[in-house]
Amino acid sequence: LAPRQSHGQCLTLCLLLSAEMYPKPTISLSPGRVTALGQDVTVRCRAGRRDARFSLFKVGDRTPLGNMEPGGEFLIRSVRWGDGGSYTCYYHYASDPFAWSEPSDPVELVVA
- Tens of pLDDT, residue by residue over 64-82, are 998 887 789 999 999 999 9
Q: What percent of the chain has pLDDT over 90?
A: 62
Give the DSSP H or E segment for 75. Answer: strand 73-76
Residues in CB range of 24: below 8 A, 6 or more apart: 101, 102, 103, 104, 105
Confidence band of 2 (pLDDT split at 50, 70, 90): very low
Task: State residue 20's pLDDT score.
Answer: 52
Is the model more confident about 59 or about 3?
A: 59
Q: What burial class does residue 102 get, using C-beta atoms within 10 Å of its C-beta: 0-12 exposed, 13-18 middle, 19+ buried?
A: middle
The CATH number covering residue 102 comes to 2.60.40.10
Q: Would residue 1 count as lying in a domain?
A: no
How many domains are there within the chain? Answer: 1
The pLDDT tens digits of the residues spanning 13-37 come to: 445 554 457 999 999 999 999 999 9
**Alpha helix locations (H) across 1-112?**
7-18
Is residue 25 in a domain? Answer: yes
Inside any domain, residue 2: no
Domain-embedded: residue 31: yes
Q: Closest Cα partner for 104 from 90, 93, 85, 92?
A: 90
Q: 65 is in which domain, residue-wise?
A: 7-111
